[in-house]
A = this chain, B = another copy of it.
Amino acid sequence: MKQFRSIFRKTKNSEKIITFVFIAYATISSMAALAEESSITSKIRSTFDNTIGYVTHSSPAHFNDNNELLQPEGYRGWVHIGTQVTPNDMNNGKAIVPEFHNVYIDHKSFNHWKKTGEFRDGTMIVKELMSVGDKKALTGNGYFMGEFTGLEAAVKDSKRFPKEPGNWAYFMYGMKYPLLDKVAAKPTSECNSCHEKNAKDDWVFTQYYPNLRTTKPQQSTSSAK
């Protein structure tokens, strides 16, 4: 630090200004790029929450005073961990959770998973439901995505949900638009119990999520991209 001070004192004012402007430019451009990479709103909200200590971890899950989870934003830019389809026409005309399910995890929790193989406190997983659109295209017969129809979410939070097994709480915004803006956690028996019994890793059905399965440390079955 002394050396640094000495160098700084010896530097001409004009050079100091150049250094200052360069660093300021780098700061601004990095921050602009960061904002562009993900949802600006959610980034600002996370930073704010962290700064005032409202939450102890940087989670994209935001609750109101009634412990209701606000509808998440920007999740279509999160990390896609898998898509399944349970078409109505393969389930006697009405699937339990119709039809396509796109599943996303927030970037920070995904990075934590890749390092540790664990879901951090604050992890948020979003499942977006979609209808089947076409069943035939140039690439052949199959199931092609139609419209967005529903939204569900899971949040792991030991402080907010200390009594939920695994500290996981589940939320459903509806299976038809318009969706609810905010929802309370579902009773444990409705979602958590099934996840506890059947999900492969910490209440998460990683058996169906290849982007989690293959990035779990020391258990990689295929190279991570």
A90 near B133 with CB under 8 A, answer no
CB A197 to nearest CB in B, in angstroms, measures 9
B143 near A84 with CB under 8 A, answer yes
B208 near A145 with CB under 8 A, answer yes
A208 near B133 with CB under 8 A, answer yes
Kindly specify which of A59-67, A99-107, A154-162, A163-171 makes contact with the partner chain. A99-107
Question: A190 interface residue, CB < 8 Å from B?
Answer: no
Interface residues contributed by chain A, number (CB under 8 Å): 75
A87 near B225 with CB under 8 A, answer no
Question: A44 interface residue, CB < 8 Å from B?
Answer: no
A144 to B33, CA, bound (A): 35
A5 to B21, CA, bound (A): 11
Known: A208-B137, A222-B177. A36 touches B107 (CB 8 A): yes
CB A67 to nearest CB in B, in angstroms, measures 23
Q: Considering the complex, give the chain B residue whose CB is closest to the CB of A100.
A: B83
CB A38 to nearest CB in B, in angstroms, measures 6
Cβ proximity bits A207-225 to B, threshold 8 Å, 1 near / 0 not: 0111100100000011011
Q: A8-B20, A74-B225, A134-B208 are in contact. List 9 more A-B contacts (CB 8 A).
A: A5-B13, A37-B37, A37-B38, A76-B79, A80-B104, A87-B142, A91-B141, A95-B142, A97-B140
A-B contact pairs, 28 of them (CB 8 A): A4-B17, A5-B17, A8-B17, A19-B20, A23-B24, A23-B27, A27-B30, A36-B108, A37-B38, A72-B225, A73-B225, A74-B225, A76-B80, A76-B224, A77-B110, A80-B104, A83-B83, A84-B142, A85-B85, A85-B142, A86-B142, A87-B142, A95-B139, A134-B208, A137-B208, A145-B209, A147-B222, A148-B214
